[in-house]
Amino acid sequence: HVSLNDAYKDLGKVEWPVTLSDREKYMFMIRRGIEEGQIRPHYQPIMNGDGEVYGFEVLVRWPHPEQGTIPPNKFIPFAEEEGFVDEIDRYVCEYACHEMKQLMDQLGQKFILTVNVSAKHITKGHYIKELKETLEKTSFPPELLAIEVTETSLVVNLKEAAYVINDVRNLGAQVWIDDFGTVYSSLNYLRHLPLDVIKLDGSFIRNIQDNKVDRTICSTIIQLAHELNLKVVAEGIEEGCQLKELKQLNCELFQGYHFHKPLGIEELRHYIKGVKVL
Ligand code: C2E
Ligand code: CA
Ligand code: CA
Ligand code: CA
């Protein structure tokens, strides 16, 4: 690929050699991580109440050759600030749809795949066009794809969010709301947006056993979701007792280290052989 120096040589105007700020260097590193395929999707199982695999959440991983694994929280917010997170999201989505389509074809099985979409990305005009292209290019069945949007991405403009969500659903894909309950006007989104699934934030689950308030919040959100014909995924389940509690509250889908951490595609291939699938 073109080195940064080659690219900049064409610019003529800039003084040679060019010096880069730390932010520019970091952006360059991330883009190179994508070009060279270091940055890759991992997959965390989402389970149903019978312990079968319902689907996978795609979580990006960057095992950097010199710096060890860099977690998404270290580079996604940076890419959002610098305005190129859409490049990462598009790459991750396409990579994951491609890999998962192959795996499903090999195994003759179907899974829901959920991808995280940054707030900054979903409000960009191109989003739907790109999603459509990704689905076509990878032949991934739209009905097996869900996008996970956070409440913060919806804060910006409820009306615009509703348009985008409708467009996604018109493509045949689903819209899940992530980290539900962590933003103060949560309930307003349920009133105004045609969502499919609520992901109950892990912070409510952590102390569900001994904290009566947290338990009540979980119970109330689950009941409300069901009244509105939405499914609920409980996130961040680490203990069997948390799972038991959530099942009693009629939650239907579960995710967390208690089942599995996010897996690379080869680990996933191996894992899937030993488990029941829906
Ligand atoms: P998230 O979407 O809320 O993802 C859940 C996070 O919780 C993941 O962290 C996951 O590895 C972690 N997790 C799963 N089970 C457990 C558990 O039992 N206990 C605990 N303590 N944590 C658990 P991860 O992979 O580090 O991702 C962090 C955040 O980065 C994600 O939060 C998401 O907001 C963002 N992210 C990850 N991949 C992408 C991506 O491709 N695009 C965008 N825009 N954001 C992404
Ligand atoms: Ca998520
Ligand atoms: Ca989440
Ligand atoms: Ca989050």
Query: Each residue of 173-184: pLDDT tens digit?
Result: 999 999 998 877
ipTM score over 0.95, yes or no: yes
Q: Is the pLDDT of residue 66 over 90?
A: no
State the DSSP string of 24-79: HHHHHHHHHHHHTT-SEEEEEEEEETTS-EEEEEEEEEEEETTTEEEPHHHHHHHH
pLDDT tens-digit map of 9-24? 555 565 666 778 889 9
> Which atom number of ligand 1 is nearest to the Cα of residue 121?
44
- Whether the per-residue pLDDT at 163 is higher than 80: the answer is yes
Is residue 171 within 8 Å of 129, Cβ to Cβ? no
The verdict on the CB of residue 116 being under 6 Å from ligand 1 is: yes
- Evaluate whether 54 touches 70 at the Cβ level (below 8 Å): no
How is residue 136 written in tokens? 């076509």
Say if ligand 1 is within 6 A of residue 73 CB.
yes
- For residue 42, which atom of ligand 1 is closest to its CA? 25
CB distance 49 to 252 below 8 Å? yes
Specify the pLDDT at position 2: 55
- As residues whose CB is below 5 A from the ion ligand 2, the structure lists 116, 148, 178
Q: Residue 120's pLDDT band (boundaries 50, 70, 90)?
A: confident
**Confidence (pLDDT) at 69:** 87
CA distance 106 to 99: 11
Q: pLDDT band at residue 90, thresholds of 50, 70 and 90? A: very high
Of residues 166 and 67, more confidently modeled: 166
Closest Cα to atom 21 of ligand 1: 236
